[in-house]
Amino acid sequence: MTDTPIRLVDYLPPSHLVDSVALTFRLHPQATRVLSQVCLRPNPARPGRHDLRLDGEALRLIGAAVDGVPIAAMPDETGLTLPASSLPDGPFTFTAEVEIAPEANTALEGLYMSRGMYCTQCEAEGFRKITFYPDRPDVMAPFRVRIESDLPVLLSNGNEVANGPGWAEWHDPWPKPAYLFALVAGDLVAHSAGFTTMSGRDVALNIWVRPGDEARCGYAMDSLIRSMKWDEDVYGREYDLDVFNIVAVDDFNMGAMENKGLNIFNSKYVLALPETATDDDFARIEAIIAHEYFHNWTGNRITCRDWFQLCLKEGLTVFRDQQFSSDMRSAAVKRIEDVLTLRARQFREDDGPLAHPVRPEEYIEINNFYTATVYEKGAELIGMLKRLVGDKGYAKALDLYFRRHDGQAATIEDWLAVFEDATGRDLSRFKLWYSEAGTPRLKVTDDFRDGRFSLHVEQVNLPTPGQPDKHPKVIPIAVGLLNPNGDEVVPTTVLELTETRQSFHFDGLAARPVPSILRGFSAPVVLERATTPEERAFLLAHDTDPFNKWEAGRALAKEVLARMVTDGAQPGPDWLDALARVALDEALDPAFRALALRLPGEDDMAQTLHAAGHVPDPDRIHAARQRMAAALAERLDPALPGLIDALAEPGPFTPEARAAGRRALRLAALGLMTRRDGGARAAAVFRAANNMTEEVGALSCLLDVGRGQEELALFESRWGRDRLVMDKWFTLQILHAAPAEAAAKVDRLTAHPDFDWKNPNRFRAVIGALSANHAGFHHASGAGYRVLADWLIRLDPLNPQTAARMSTAFETRARYDADRQALMADQLDRILAAPALSRDLAEMAGRMRR
């Protein structure tokens, strides 16, 4: 096992290029044969003669030949080297036959089986578990695939070119890297539809699922069609094959995968009916369907030169799916939700031992770099670029990107050059965002004299692991100014901070304005500005920028909660009144009001307190947040029943944003009411619910106040046979367990007969929920840490990727008191001492233990 880091600076173009690939699969659960025929030629970009290195892992080599002449190949642990001396200096064909065992593949990477169906996952380096091949994204080739199996449905990338009893042949004309290869075989049924592209080509659309699930594909199909249309309208991107297939699988490490023409999805992000999926599920399905579809251009037609460039496809594609969702739903609400996620996941990552740049410069296991930083911060960088060059500049740059790099494996340098060439702007300073980790802090002060309002801005870029010295970034700061009477005197303008310290002036003002800074969250930074609760309340009431309106309320709530934690204070009437005004303001979008009512999370509070120089105490945070909810419930008490009644949706369920927003507000009100009426109303909503949003929402309200046992039992008897719904049943109990009981609850639920720990969704539903229960996970006994480590150690030999991903629960160790830090360190040491620890988990635990 190699665990020397791979470095960006060591990049070398491939020694050979591939002109075409032909594969034959003779499927068998224990002994699948893979025959490959790879046409190669020396890469002119690497003059001279070179050995050919073919990646290959856990393959039984049956035979290999070069130009038909058998070779005595001796693979090592990670592949096969064909010495330069044995290769022709022009084009040649490498053929091989290997045997693999999909049924024994529990890592869910390469070719594996999930409940009787065959499927593949090749990103990032899974193709090497299928056959010997130069498994790197800068080697692109058209693939021809023949599948032999008695299973009725046989799928691969591209278009189907022929089939017969027990076989099918597929051809994908678009050159692609091996990580986009896919194969599926199973007893599947399709939910089908069609789409006519902007140039008039008909595309067959299929969502393949197990028999019985075909009625649950409607929303995913609708989302797909809207995504295809949107990408034509907004980016001018048309689909490029005759068929687009999506397959839902139950065992999948991630959300979904953009394999060319054959997207493979975690069934959780495809299957949905009002009775089984919540509004959040519907929104995520829409976003992920769009994300994978958008990859067809940003990822597949233009791919990444190497895995360091991962953000080239992921940051851009996340940005595109965010734009799409924001066009389909409420832009304001979408932005607030995206920032909540960014702060909860990426700021947290940036703040700890796993901090890394959006474009990392080294890795041991690439699977560990599918992170919030690469994805979410990567998307923020695109948003900043767009703000800096304007909408027109962005559109020009993207057109150029598609024109210049179609069919290529590109880099961040290529990406930025396109913006420079299209807009004439120098982006060399902006590029620091890609290479330096850490969240910049902005310290802002102001003054007002003779009609001139000045903002003095300083940026602080703190060290992160391995990066002691940072440079000032280019930071677009969207600012608007409000009059003391609440009117906007200066509409949103983008200030460009480029130096460590800079002042910006606004002249000709009659009175000292109230500034609204970082509107729309125009940069992924932490804004630090000494201000008064009155000013925050003023912005909460008057800001015309919906993000900053919400942000003002959020900041206020966090300040109140921080004081409740540190000196046991009670929330004052000012905050309660300000929040009540928003909550009850019928002129506002219900979804926005629901967001305003959502109290700051406990992990978020811990991070904020830590940043302010406190040692966060998880129990106190939990208790204070409960008191805060109780106080809010008391303040809003008279209005709650009316709200809950008025927001009941008449008629049948629709997943669209307007109705979802009303349900969100209704459930927020129900949560508060449950603290007043002992749960009577929540129990009634639970029983009357005709959709999963309200069923699970009402149940959560009950569990939150220590009730709901009867409802849990009812839920289990109703949904016991539905895996996706039962994941929720598992999660809820852990998420809402009292701090001292969370670890024991994990013990109890992992002993449940339906706890299938080899299924990543179920594992995450239980073990992942534990780390999301802040006070439970960090309970002073250390039981939370212990039970997580136990399960990671157990899962790692089977599924290193998921084990490594879930180990990030420990990344916040440095925030806490010495006792907790020591308890966490002990568990990381236990993990590191586990026999045959995977490279994945070893890298993660090692980085967190340092």
Contact residues for ligand PHE (CB under 6 A)? 121, 123, 254, 256-258, 291-292, 314, 370
Nearer to ligand PHE, 254 or 657 (CB): 254
Task: Output the CA torsion sign for 487, 493, 494, 499.
Answer: negative
Q: Do 26 and 16 touch, CB atoms closer than 8 A?
A: no
Residue 123 interface partner, choices ligand PHE, Zn ion, none, CB cut-off 5-8 Å depending on type:
ligand PHE
Residue 121 interface partner, choices Zn ion, ligand PHE, none, CB cut-off 5-8 Å depending on type:
ligand PHE
Residue 257 interface partner, choices ligand PHE, Zn ion, none, CB cut-off 5-8 Å depending on type:
ligand PHE
Calpha distance 37→451 (Å, rounded): 76
Residue 543 interface partner, choices ligand PHE, Zn ion, none, CB cut-off 5-8 Å depending on type:
none
DSSP 3-state percent helix, strand, coil across the chain (nearest 5): 45, 20, 30
Nearer to ligand PHE, 300 or 607 (CB): 300
Nearer to Zn ion, 317 or 693 (CB): 317
The SS3 of residue 371 is: coil
Residue 250 interface partner, choices ligand PHE, Zn ion, none, CB cut-off 5-8 Å depending on type:
none
Nearer to ligand PHE, 172 or 258 (CB): 258
- In the complex, least distance from residue 226 CB atom to Zn ion, rounded to whole angstroms: 18
Q: Which residues contact 212 (CB under 8 A, 6 or more apart)?
A: none
E strand or H helix at 662: helix 657-677
Nearer to Zn ion, 184 or 254 (CB): 254
The SS3 of residue 486 is: coil
Q: Which residues contact 210 (CB under 8 A, 6 or more apart)?
A: 115, 117, 186, 187, 188, 189, 248
- In the complex, least distance from residue 318 CB atom to ligand PHE, rounded to whole angstroms: 8
Q: Which residues contact 517 (CB under 8 A, 6 or more apart)?
A: 444, 455, 477, 479, 527, 529, 548
Q: Which residue is nearest to ligand PHE (CB)?
A: 254
- In the complex, least distance from residue 263 CB atom to ligand PHE, rounded to whole angstroms: 9
Nearer to ligand PHE, 363 or 729 (CB): 363
Residue 659 interface partner, choices Zn ion, ligand PHE, none, CB cut-off 5-8 Å depending on type:
none
DSSP state of 741: G
- In the complex, least distance from residue 375 CB atom to ligand PHE, rounded to whole angstroms: 7
Segment 168 to 207, residues that bind Zn ion, using CB under 5 A: none
Residue 813 interface partner, choices Zn ion, ligand PHE, none, CB cut-off 5-8 Å depending on type:
none
Q: In what order do the strands lie in the sheet with 452-460?
A: 501-506, 452-460, 441-449, 526-528
Segment 290 to 329, residues that bind Zn ion, using CB under 5 A: 314, 317
Neighbours of 690 (CB within 10 A): 12
Give me 393's structure tokens.
């500049």
Q: In what order do the strands lie in the sheet with 475-482?
A: 488-497, 475-482, 514-517
E strand or H helix at 467: none
Nearer to ligand PHE, 375 or 453 (CB): 375
Residue with tokens 């927003």: 661
- CA-nearest of 146, 138, 133, 288 to 224 is 288
Nearer to ligand PHE, 121 or 206 (CB): 121
Residue 370 interface partner, choices Zn ion, ligand PHE, none, CB cut-off 5-8 Å depending on type:
ligand PHE
Residue 312 interface partner, choices Zn ion, ligand PHE, none, CB cut-off 5-8 Å depending on type:
none
Question: Among this protein's residues, is 436 annotated catalytic?
Answer: no
Calpha distance 237→214 (Å, rounded): 29
Angle at 322 between CA 377 and CA 438, to 5 degrees: 10
DSSP state of 50: -
Residue 477 interface partner, choices ligand PHE, Zn ion, none, CB cut-off 5-8 Å depending on type:
none
- From 292, 380, 602, 811, active-site residue: 292
- CA-nearest of 42, 43, 37, 44 to 20 is 37
- In the complex, least distance from residue 568 CB atom to ligand PHE, rounded to whole angstroms: 45
- In the complex, least distance from residue 362 CB atom to Zn ion, rounded to whole angstroms: 22
Query: Which amino acid, one-letter code, is at 176?
Result: K
Pairing assessment for the beta strands 475-482 and 514-517 based on DSSP bridges: antiparallel
Residues that bind Zn ion (rule: CB under 5 A) add up to a total of: 2
Does the bond joining 594 to the residue before it have cis omega, within 30 degrees of 0?
A: no
Nearer to Zn ion, 317 or 731 (CB): 317
Q: Do 174 and 158 touch, CB atoms closer than 8 A?
A: yes
Query: Which amino acid, one-letter code, is at 304?
Result: C
CA-based end-to-end distance of the chain? 21
Nearer to Zn ion, 172 or 314 (CB): 314
Nearer to ligand PHE, 220 or 497 (CB): 220
Give me 134's structure tokens.
């130069």
- In the complex, least distance from residue 292 CB atom to ligand PHE, rounded to whole angstroms: 5
- In the complex, least distance from residue 321 CB atom to Zn ion, rounded to whole angstroms: 8
Residue 711 interface partner, choices Zn ion, ligand PHE, none, CB cut-off 5-8 Å depending on type:
none
CA of 468: how far to CAs of 295, 438, 440, 471, in Å? 35, 11, 14, 10
Question: Which class for 469: exposed (0-12), middle (13-18), buried (19 or more C-beta within 10 A)?
Answer: exposed
Residue 330 interface partner, choices Zn ion, ligand PHE, none, CB cut-off 5-8 Å depending on type:
none
- In the complex, least distance from residue 434 CB atom to ligand PHE, rounded to whole angstroms: 18
Nearer to Zn ion, 316 or 669 (CB): 316
Q: Read out DSSP for 785-813?
A: HHHHHHHHHHHTTT-HHHHHHHGGGGGGG
Residue 227 interface partner, choices Zn ion, ligand PHE, none, CB cut-off 5-8 Å depending on type:
none
Calpha distance 178→176 (Å, rounded): 6
Angle at 81 between CA 75 and CA 83, to 5 degrees: 135
- In the complex, least distance from residue 578 CB atom to ligand PHE, rounded to whole angstroms: 40
- In the complex, least distance from residue 772 CB atom to Zn ion, rounded to whole angstroms: 23
Nearer to ligand PHE, 258 or 337 (CB): 258
The SS3 of residue 410 is: strand
Query: Which amino acid, one-letter code, is at 682?
Result: A
Task: Output the CA torsion sign for 637, 641, 642, 646.
Answer: positive
Burial code (b: 16+ CB inside 10 Å, e: under 16) for 343-354 equals bbbbbbbbbbbb
- In the complex, least distance from residue 523 CB atom to ligand PHE, rounded to whole angstroms: 24
- In the complex, least distance from residue 823 CB atom to ligand PHE, rounded to whole angstroms: 32
Pairing assessment for the beta strands 303-304 and 409-410 based on DSSP bridges: parallel
The site for Zn ion (CB under 5 A) is made up of 314, 317
User: Which are the catalytic amino acids?
Assistant: 292
